[in-house]
Structures are given as structure tokens and as C-alpha cells.
């Protein structure tokens, strides 16, 4: 069965520090890969996605993610975190044509 793993439940970083959120997936073929962000009490907003091609993808708000097939990973990065980045981040996989699988999320706290 397909699965998405986000091993870090909660991460705390200082404002201005770099950030990396981990995501691993289990799927036989190369799936469509997504990162979403959810602010408290809000719906989910797409940060970036990977379908094919260049394995380093750029998203909104200065985020980027790199697809590594050999590691079945799609880690999210940001070189300098802002206080407004505090939120919950979800990795997701689109697979089997009509199914969408989410990880359990990583909660990000940003300290001044």
C-alpha cells in the first residue's frame, strides 16, 4: 500500500535559520508529489509540486523541494525562515490515478 512518512512531528527553528522538512513515500512508480501548508484554523495551501523533469522544484514563499528517487524522498527546504512560516506542513502523494495520500504533518514553530 502507498504511504507517506513525515518523521518529524514537530520542529522548532530560530527566525533566519534554514529549514528542512523530511518526507518519504512508498510507491512502486514515481508518483506526483506535493507539499501543502496549513495555518491554524485554515485550509491547505499548495506550496509546490513535482510531476516530472527537474528534480529541484521551486514553490511559493521561498520554499523549494528536491525529489530523490533513490531515497524515495521529497524534502522541503527554505534557506531563511520567517516568523510567518510557523504552520503545519503536509507532504502528499498522488498515485493510482485517483488516490491522494497525506503524511501526518510536521508542525513548525519559529522562535524570534
Residues near other proteins, by CB under 8 A = 4, 9, 31-32, 34, 36, 42-46, 49, 90, 92, 94-105
**Closest distance of CB 99 from other proteins, Å:** 7
Phi, psi of 36 (to 5 degrees): -120, 155
**Closest distance of CB 104 from other proteins, Å:** 4
C-alpha neighbours within 13 Å on the C-beta side of residue 76: 30
Beta carbon nearer to other proteins, 41 or 112: 41
- CA Rg, the chain, in Å? 13
Beta carbon nearer to other proteins, 15 or 100: 100
**Closest distance of CB 42 from other proteins, Å:** 7
Helix (H) or strand (E) holding 110: strand 106-111
> Cell match 534554514: residue?
18
Question: Are the C-beta atoms of residues 92 and 102 closer than 8 Å to each other?
Answer: yes
Beta carbon nearer to other proteins, 7 or 16: 7
**Closest distance of CB 1 from other proteins, Å:** 10
Amino acid at each position: 500500500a502507498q504511504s507517506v512518512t513525515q518523521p518529524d512531528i514537530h520542529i522548532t527553528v530560530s527566525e533566519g535559520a534554514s529549514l528542512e522538512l523530511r518526507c518519504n513515500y512508498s510507491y512502486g512508480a514515481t508518483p506526483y508529489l506535493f507539499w501543502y501548508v496549513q495555518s491554524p484554523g485554515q485550509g491547505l495551501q499548495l506550496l509546490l509540486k513535482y510531476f516530472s523533469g527537474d528534480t529541484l522544484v521551486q514553490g511559493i514563499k521561498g520554499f523549494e523541494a528536491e525529489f530523490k528517487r533513490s531515497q524515495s524522498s521529497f524534502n522541503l527546504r527554505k534557506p531563511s525562515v520567517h516568523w510567518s512560516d510557523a504552520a503545519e506542513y503536509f507532504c502528499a502523494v498522488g498515485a493510482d490515478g485517483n488516490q491522494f495520500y497525506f503524511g501526518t504533518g510536521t508542525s513548525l514553530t519559529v522562535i524570534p
